[in-house]
Amino acid sequence: MACSSGVGALKTGDGSIVLSDSAKAELLSEYFVSTGVLDNGVLPPVRPVVSDDTFLESIDCGEDKIRKEIKCMKANGSAGPDSYPPILLKKLAPSLVAPLSLLYSSFMSVGQVPSEWKKTRYCNSHTQRGTRI
């Protein structure tokens, strides 16, 4: 029972065998539709992770610390939510370290960060070995 796709022969509910790609696609589609649930369009409530009255005591924003963090970035990684690839940040590090240190230090001097920074959602990502990244 050779097939032209990577999916082997499938059996329907009545026991007949399906060999053609289009029939297999239709059969699989029907199965997944039958096991799924309809989206009601309502997002679940999300409580704020950090309240607006949260203040920071102290955080090291020195140039050495920022330089070290940029150096530890994987150069071949994918771009983050800001669309900048890590290789760009690594190459521009000598020019970015001082302004970033001033920027972060100014936020820390008043004890708050911009409200947009508090809206970030963090999700654990697991590798094949089960370790968190």
Please answer whether residues 124 and 132 qualify as being in contact, where contact means their C-beta atoms are separated by less than 8 angstroms.
yes
Residues 100-116 have pLDDT tens digits of: 999 888 887 777 777 77
Please provide the average confidence, as pLDDT, over all residues in the chain: 81
Q: Is residue 113 part of a domain?
A: yes
| More confidently predicted of 55 and 9 | 9
Q: Is residue 87 part of a domain?
A: yes
Q: Is residue 94 part of a domain?
A: yes
Please answer whether residues 17 and 2 qualify as being in contact, where contact means their C-beta atoms are separated by less than 8 angstroms.
no
Q: Rounded distance, CA 45 to CA 18, Å?
A: 44
Q: Is residue 38 part of a domain?
A: no
pLDDT on residue 56: 59
Q: Is residue 12 part of a domain?
A: no
Q: Is residue 90 part of a domain?
A: yes
Total structural domains in the chain? 1
Per-residue pLDDT for 16 more than 70?
Answer: yes
Q: Rounded distance, CA 101 to CA 66, Å?
A: 7
pTM score, whole prediction: 0.45
The length of the chain in residues reads: 133
Residues 58-97 have pLDDT tens digits of: 677 899 999 998 998 888 888 877 788 889 989 999 999 9
pLDDT on residue 17: 93
Q: Is residue 74 part of a domain?
A: yes
Q: How confident is the model at residue 37 (pLDDT cuts 50, 70, 90)?
A: confident
Query: Which residue range(s) make up the domain with 91?
Result: 63-119
HSE-up of 29 (CA within 13 Å, CB side)? 6
pLDDT on residue 97: 94
pLDDT on residue 50: 77
Q: Rounded distance, CA 105 to CA 60, Å?
A: 8
Q: Rounded distance, CA 10 to CA 129, Å?
A: 32
- Residue 13 three-state SS: coil
Q: Rounded distance, CA 24 to CA 16, Å?
A: 12
Q: Is residue 48 part of a domain?
A: no
